[in-house]
Amino acid sequence: MTFEEMWADLLPLGRDAAGGYHRFAWTPPELECRAWFAGEARRRGLDVEHDANGNMIAWWLPEDGVRENAVLTGSHLDSVPGGGAFDGPLGVVSAFAAIDLLRERGARLRRPIGVAAFAEEEGARFGVACLGSRLLTGAIDPARARALTDADGRTFADVLHHAGLDPEAIGPDDDLLNRVGCFVELHVEQGRALAEPVGVAASIVPHGRWRFGFAGEGNHAGTTALADRRDPMLPFASMVLAAREAAERNGTVATVGKVRVDPGGVNAIAASVTGWLDARGPDDASVRRTVADVDAAVRAAARPHGVTVDLAEESYTEVVGFDLALRDRLARVVKGALGGAPVLPTGAGHDAGILSARMPTAMLFVRNPTGVSHAPAERAEIADCLAGVEALAAVLDDLAAG
Ligand code: GLV
Ligand code: MN
Ligand code: MN
Ligand code: MN
C-alpha cells in the first residue's frame, strides 16, 4: 500500500457532500478509521496495542524483541465537525509510509517504532481536546472524564463500555509511557506560516476552551412583552462581540464557534444558551485576561435581563516548548534529507503538546497551500506529503534505525 493508496482508502470515511469530515470518537465513521488502522498494521505485520484509554499503537519491534525506549510517532484519526482530510490522518498515514520506506531501504531497528492513533484529539464529541493523551498521561482526572457527555447526553463511560473498554480502567498508564523514549508527531500546517514543504515545530501557544451557560426563562415569542423577558440570547450575543474585542485588546485570538440554544424554537424565547469560547495567545496571562474580560462583559450584559451566567473551563494547555535537543536533531536530519527545515510556532493544539509533559517530544509540519484548517479547504499537495514521509523516515531512521 503506497501513501496514495492508503490516502484513497481513508478519504471517503465520514466525508459529507461539501467535502467536510465528521469523524467523532467511537461513531461509525471513526470506527471505520480504526478498522482501517488495524488493517494497515496487520498488512505490515505490526501488533496493535489497544490501551485502556481508547488509544491505539501499532508496533514495529526490533528483531531482538526489545520493547523499551521506543520512538513513538503517529497522530489522530478523529476530526472536528466539517473538518479537513489532513488534520490528524496525515500523521498516521505518513507514519505507515515512513515504515515502508525504512523497510525497503533495509533499515534494522535498534529501538521499537510505534504508530499511534490517539482518541478524541479534537474533543469534538466530549468537549475536552486530546482526551486520549490526557488520560494516558494523567492530565485529566479519570472520574471527570467518565462523566463527560456528548451532545446526546451519553457519558464517556457509557460510550467506552459499548466500545468494549472498561470505563473504570481509564487513566494514567505508566507501563506504556515508560516504554516510550520520545514522540514525534507529523501534522499538516494549519496556517500560512510554512513556505517550504516541511518544517519543525518550535512551540504551541497556550490555549483552552471555556463554556458559558446563560440561564433565562423560556416563554412565548409573541405574547411576552419585552419588559417581561429573561432572554439568555441577549447576553450570549454580547459574548460573541466581547470575545472579538477582548482578543484585540489582549493580543490573543478568541472564537465563539459553537452555541446551543435550548429548547431551540423559532417562536420561543430560549430558556438557556450555552456558548463555547476558544482562546489562545502568546502567554498564559493574555489568555487568562481574554477569558476574564469576556466573563465580565457577559455578566454585565446579563444582569439587566435577569439572566444568570456560569463559566466552566473545559480544557487548558499551557505553553508547550518542544524538547530543544530533539527539535534541533529533527531540524538537522530534515535539512539533510530535504535541504531545508524552517522552525515555526503553532496556534493549534496537538497530542504532542500533552505528551511533552512526560517525554521529549517534537513535531514536523507539512506545508498547507490554502492555510485553511478545521474546514474542507485544508490541503497539502501530494509532493509535500511525500516530502513529509521522506522527512519522517529520515527522523525515524536517525532515532531508531540505521
Ligand atoms: C485542535 O486541533 C486545536 O488546535 O483545537
Ligand atoms: Mn485539529
Ligand atoms: Mn490535529
Ligand atoms: Mn489538534
Last residue of a domain, one of 317, 334, 368: 317
**What average pLDDT does the segment 355-361 reach?**
97
- Nearest residue by C-alpha to atom 5 in ligand 1: 349
Total domain count for the chain? 2
Residue (of 80, 128, 72) closest to 98 by Cα position: 72
121 CA distance to ligand 3 middle (Å): 7
75 CA distance to ligand 3 middle (Å): 7
| Confidence at 65, pLDDT banded by 50, 70, 90 | confident
Are residue 127 and residue 214 in the same domain, yes or no? no
| Confidence at 153, pLDDT banded by 50, 70, 90 | very high
122, 125, 130, 346: residue to mutate for ligand 1 pocket, most atoms within 8 A of CB? 122
pLDDT at 223 over 90: yes
Are residue 185 and residue 330 in the same domain, yes or no? yes
Q: Is 120 in the pocket of ligand 1 (CB under 6 A)?
A: no
Last residue of a domain, one of 286, 317, 348: 317
pLDDT at 133 over 80: yes
Query: CATH number of the domain that 227 lies in?
Result: 3.30.70.360
Range of the domain at 112: 3-205+319-400
- Nearest residue by C-alpha to atom 1 in ligand 1: 349
**What average pLDDT does the segment 245-251 reach?**
98
pLDDT at 140 over 90: yes
Burial of 57 (0-12, 13-18, 19+ CB in 10 A): buried
Are residue 76 and residue 139 in the same domain, yes or no? yes
Q: How far apart are CA 183 and CA 199, in angstroms?
A: 16
Q: Is 30 in the pocket of ligand 1 (CB under 6 A)?
A: no
**Torsion-angle region of 293 (φ positive above 0: left; ψ -120 to 50: alpha; else: beta):** alpha
Q: Is 185 in the pocket of ligand 1 (CB under 6 A)?
A: no
Are residue 304 and residue 253 in the same domain, yes or no? yes
Are residue 281 and residue 347 in the same domain, yes or no? no
pLDDT, tens only, 251-268:
999 999 999 999 999 999
Q: Which ligand is nearest to the CA of 204?
A: 1
Q: Is 78 in the pocket of ligand 1 (CB under 6 A)?
A: no
Are residue 47 and residue 174 in the same domain, yes or no? yes
Q: Is 98 in the pocket of ligand 1 (CB under 6 A)?
A: no
Are residue 44 and residue 111 in the same domain, yes or no? yes
Are residue 196 and residue 264 in the same domain, yes or no? no
- Nearest residue by C-alpha to atom 3 in ligand 1: 349
Q: How far apart are CA 53 and CA 74, in angstroms?
A: 16
Are residue 71 and residue 188 in the same domain, yes or no? yes
186 CA distance to ligand 4 middle (Å): 11
> Residue type for 115, please?
V
168 CA distance to ligand 2 middle (Å): 28
CA distances from 139 to 5, 61, 75, 163, 351 (A): 36, 28, 18, 22, 11
Mean pLDDT taken over the chain? 97
Q: Cβ contacts of residue 300 below 8 Å, gap of 6+?
A: none
Predicted confidence at residue 179, as pLDDT, reads: 97
Are residue 200 and residue 275 in the same domain, yes or no? no
Burial of 26 (0-12, 13-18, 19+ CB in 10 A): buried
pLDDT at 402 over 80: no
Ion ligand 3 neighbours (CB, 5 A) are 87-88
Query: CATH number of the domain that 67 lies in?
Result: 3.40.630.10
> Residue type for 364, please?
L
Are residue 255 and residue 200 in the same domain, yes or no? no
Q: How far apart are CA 355 and CA 386, in angstroms?
A: 26
Q: How far apart are CA 10 and CA 107, in angstroms?
A: 27
Last residue of a domain, one of 317, 349, 382: 317
Structure pTM? 0.95
Q: Is 186 in the pocket of ligand 1 (CB under 6 A)?
A: no
Q: Is 348 in the pocket of ligand 1 (CB under 6 A)?
A: yes
Q: In the chain, pLDDT over 70 holds for what percent of residues? A: 100
Are residue 242 and residue 390 in the same domain, yes or no? no
ipTM of the complex: 0.93
